[in-house]
Chains A and B, each alone.
Chain A
Amino acid sequence: RKEVEQDPGPFNVPEGATVAFNCTYSNSASQSFFWYRQDCRKEPKLLMSVYSSGNEDGRFTAQLNRASQYISLLIRDSKLSDSATYLCVVNLAGNTPLVFGKGTRLSVIA
């Protein structure tokens, strides 16, 4: 069983649309959760951490459901510049390597 699973997409959405990605993780002992963004031919960069109570950063909202072991990312009012691959990332414990999903590709179309 893969540790972090994501729908690879691509998700093709028009500008202004709301789009949601889900991700599931297999290890119930996982402690911390993140969404990273990777633009084409660039390195991944942290988009946001995901907290148990859910958190929002502008048009982006992240949710964590520990009981069902899934994480979500909601993007409202999509912009062309949101086109990227979104990586779901899980950390088991402080110094263990992060576990990356393979990513979900988003294309926002004018």
Chain B
Amino acid sequence: DVKVTQSSRYLVKRTGEKVFLECVQDMDHENMFWYRQDPGLGLRLIYFSYDVKMKEKGDIPEGYSVSREKKERFSLILESASTNQTSMYLCASRPSGTPTYEQYFGPGTRLTVT
């Protein structure tokens, strides 16, 4: 059974803090993704990674960075948190290759920046 876990379900941080969101998957998937989801805006891709030490910008990378030092772990970093980064953050993983492969999501981290 594929599992994607995220380090926290709820997080409250202050403006200007550095925030780390961790994601771990246990199925040896090559591809990993970070999204944020906001009411009315749907899922928006922040960054993704095809392999260890590789990263690609998604649609809204500004204010974020990522790290993938190990295949199973993909971290999202908010260098200096701002109130407009209050959101639900979802990590996902998917095998590479056939385009019909399912993508699996973690349970999400609801981040509030005050």
For residue B48, which residues in chain A have a CB less than 8 angstroms away from its CB?
Answer: 97
Cα–Cα distance between A97 and B102 once the two chains are bound (Å): 12
Q: Find out whether the CB atom of A94 lies under 8 angstroms from the CB atom of B98.
A: yes
Give the interface size class of chain A. Answer: 20 to 34
Q: Which residue of A lies closest to B42 (CB)?
A: A102
Q: Does A31 interact with chain B (Cβ within 8 Å)?
A: yes
The A-B contact count (CB < 8 A) is 45
- Take A42-B107, A45-B105 as given contacts and tell me if A97 and B45 are in contact as well, using a CB distance cutoff of 8 Å: yes
- Measured between beta carbons, the chain A residues less than 8 angstroms from B64 are none
Chain A residues, CB < 8 A from B41: 102
Task: Kindly identify, within residues 91 to 111 of chain B, every residue whose CB is under 8 Å from any CB belonging to chain A.
Answer: 94, 96-100, 102-103, 105-108
- Write out the residue numbers on chain A whose beta carbons fall within 8 Å of the beta carbon of B103: 46, 98
The answer to whether B108 touches A32, judged by C-beta atoms less than 8 angstroms apart, is no
